[in-house]
Amino acid sequence: MSIIYTPQQYALPDKAMENFIDTDEINGFLKEFENPTEEQVDEVIAKSLNKQRLNLQETAILVNASSPEMVSKIKAAAKQLKEQVYGKRIVLFAPLYIGNLCINDCTYCGFRSTNKKQERLTLGKQDIVDQVIALEDTGHKRLILVYGEHPRYDAKFIAETVKVVYDVKHENGEIRRVNINAAPLEIEGFKTVKEAGIGTYQIFQETYHRETYAKVHKSGTKKHFDWRVTGLDRAQEAGIDDVGIGALMGLYDWRFEMLGLVRHVNHFEAVYNVGPHTISFPRIQSASGFEVDKRYDVSDEEFTRLVAILRLAVPYTGLILTAREPEHIRNEIMEYGISQIDGGTNIEMKGYTSHKEQQDLDHEQFEISDNRSLNEVMEELVGNGYIPSFCTACYRLNRTGEHFMEFSVPGFIKRFCQPNAMLTLAEYLEDYAPGETKDKGYHLIKENLENYEDERFKDKLIERLERIKKGDRDLYF
């Protein structure tokens, strides 16, 4: 099917008819809790440490809590919650840009239609194969495919590219989970993409502030706020129950965006009984022909706070951090709540095979700040005691959506995700790691095994780790 965009005519699914992003409501809460007291902040933190999701009022209290004492309490609580729920596991993925044709004119994006300097390219089948082999050869197992918005990139095209990726097997390498970051589709389109076996479908709202949204999305389908904000409702209607939301930080006041994100989460929980799988909150970067407007700049201090607050507001939602952020910021906020990062990222079209030292913004979407190789990232994670994970077990065992949330089962992460992280780390160490990383990685696995409480499970895990050393692959719980 081809995309025939009809956002104005499109009838929203009944359940999503209400306007769930209400600007006045959000502004009202931000004003009402403009100057929170210590007691209010403590109360909200206590609720969150009890692993309950926060409502808009409570989130407003945290985003307005700005004294150094309150901020340190928030960060300390986020750290504690992250330890409790997620342990030391960090999931790794890489983005793969499939095509940069675009009909929209998002002022901040290098791919915008009016940017005549951008060289346009759509990866053909062989190009995709080449990129995926290059990614598999570094050890990646999880990709997110990224597309501009264009009639050529319709649901059928997206589904075909997903299949091409899954079919690439190089030596011990394979991609076991393909996520998507693309424009919102109609329900039928989402069904087509689902059939290709995708993991998460991500759509970022960019800004939940309607006025700002209208200013930065002047033309093209994306200018319709409601079409976009209900995109993932249509995905749900089509049976995609694993979705990711996001806001582009720096377009408008980050405090407002935080309440917008939490409202979006509440909406999913209320209507579909399951929140989004992940939230992204990229800080806007310079792009070809675009300089960041400093008015809504999110400083490093605010950004680190923002992550800690999100961790507390939605204890059970995965938080994604990308290579847009420099290494030192990535390291700090991983402690507060990040559960997924990208590694060895290259966002240039065909970038994984071109091995250029420098970014060329006329070939890519925006500037990145962390261009370390996957192994450099792995080595640092392991050195800091994190267990990097390439695990894809839940998605492949159909443990998704309402029927299954990693977190709805008490202790699930420690029981399943942690050992699965160790198994995928062992695969990486065997197949891709240089000697030094291998030693450090196995040392970390050994340390974690020593502290393993569940003896029966520990025996099974040790047995599987041995099998991996002998050449077995793709073992999981």
Using CB under 6 A as the criterion, which residues of the chain lie in contact with ligand SAM when the complex forms? 108-109, 111, 146-149, 181-183, 203-204, 206, 248, 282, 284-285, 287, 324, 365-366
Q: Which residues contact 76 (CB under 8 A, 6 or more apart)?
A: none
Among ligand SAM, ligand SF4, none, partner that 78 touches (CB below 5 to 8 angstroms by kind): none
| Shortest Å distance, C-beta 207 to ligand SF4 | 12
Among ligand SAM, ligand SF4, none, partner that 207 touches (CB below 5 to 8 angstroms by kind): none
Burial call 244-265: b when 16+ CB within 10 Å, e when fewer: bbbbbbbbbbbbbbbbbbbbbb
Looking at 75, 82, 88, 112, which residue binds ligand SF4 (CB under 6 A)? 112
Quick one: 206 or 242, whose CB is closer to ligand SAM? Answer: 206
Quick one: 149 or 241, whose CB is closer to ligand SAM? Answer: 149
| Shortest Å distance, C-beta 92 to ligand SF4 | 24
| Residue 435 CB neighbour total at 10 angstroms | 7
Estimate the crossing angle of helix 418-431 against helix 455-469, to 10 degrees. 20
CA distance 175 to 227: 31
Cβ–Cβ under 8 Å, residues 21 and 264 = yes
Among ligand SF4, ligand SAM, none, partner that 204 touches (CB below 5 to 8 angstroms by kind): ligand SAM
CA distance 388 to 375: 11
β-bridge mates for residue 93, sequence order: 342
Helix (H) or strand (E) holding 81: helix 68-86
Quick one: 64 or 205, whose CB is closer to ligand SF4? Answer: 205
Please identify which residue in the block is written with the tokens 């129950």.
241
Total residues at interface with ligand SF4 (CB under 6 A): 9
Cβ–Cβ under 8 Å, residues 263 and 208 = yes
Q: HEC states along 291-345?
A: CCCHHHCCCHHHHHHHHHHHHHHCCCCEEEECCCCCHHHHHHHHHHCCCEEECCC
Quick one: 288 or 304, whose CB is closer to ligand SF4? Answer: 288
Q: Does 423 bind ligand SF4 (CB under 6 A)?
A: no
Q: Does 106 bind ligand SF4 (CB under 6 A)?
A: yes
The structure tokens listed for 248 are 């582009």
Quick one: 109 or 313, whose CB is closer to ligand SAM? Answer: 109
Q: Does 363 bind ligand SF4 (CB under 6 A)?
A: no
Distance set, CA 280 to CA 95, 141, 382 (Å): 14, 20, 24
Q: Does 251 bind ligand SF4 (CB under 6 A)?
A: no
| Shortest Å distance, C-beta 206 to ligand SAM | 5
CA distance 207 to 185: 19
Stretch that binds ligand SF4, among 31-39, 108-116, 307-315, 366-374 (CB under 6 A): 108-116
Q: How many residues appear in the chain?
A: 477
Among ligand SAM, ligand SF4, none, partner that 112 touches (CB below 5 to 8 angstroms by kind): ligand SF4
Among ligand SAM, ligand SF4, none, partner that 287 touches (CB below 5 to 8 angstroms by kind): ligand SAM
Residue among 184, 188, 277 nearest 225 (CA): 184
Looking at 104, 322, 340, 392, which residue binds ligand SF4 (CB under 6 A)? 104
Among ligand SF4, ligand SAM, none, partner that 324 touches (CB below 5 to 8 angstroms by kind): ligand SAM
| 3-class secondary structure, 96 | strand
Among ligand SAM, ligand SF4, none, partner that 477 touches (CB below 5 to 8 angstroms by kind): none
Give, in degrees to the nearest 5, the angle at Cα 130 between 127 and 135: 125
Please report the sign of the dihedral spanned by the C-alpha atoms of residue 329, residue 98, residue 196, residue 172. negative
Q: Does 148 bind ligand SF4 (CB under 6 A)?
A: yes
Q: Does 102 bind ligand SF4 (CB under 6 A)?
A: yes
| Shortest Å distance, C-beta 288 to ligand SAM | 9
DSSP string of 392-405, one letter each residue? -HHHHTT--TTT--
| Shortest Å distance, C-beta 453 to ligand SAM | 41
Q: Does 154 bind ligand SF4 (CB under 6 A)?
A: no
Among ligand SAM, ligand SF4, none, partner that 284 touches (CB below 5 to 8 angstroms by kind): ligand SAM
Identify residues 163-222 at the interface with ligand SF4 (CB under 6 A): 222
Q: Does 149 bind ligand SF4 (CB under 6 A)?
A: yes
Among ligand SAM, ligand SF4, none, partner that 10 touches (CB below 5 to 8 angstroms by kind): none
Site of interaction with ligand SF4 (CB under 6 A): 102, 104, 106, 109, 111-112, 148-149, 222
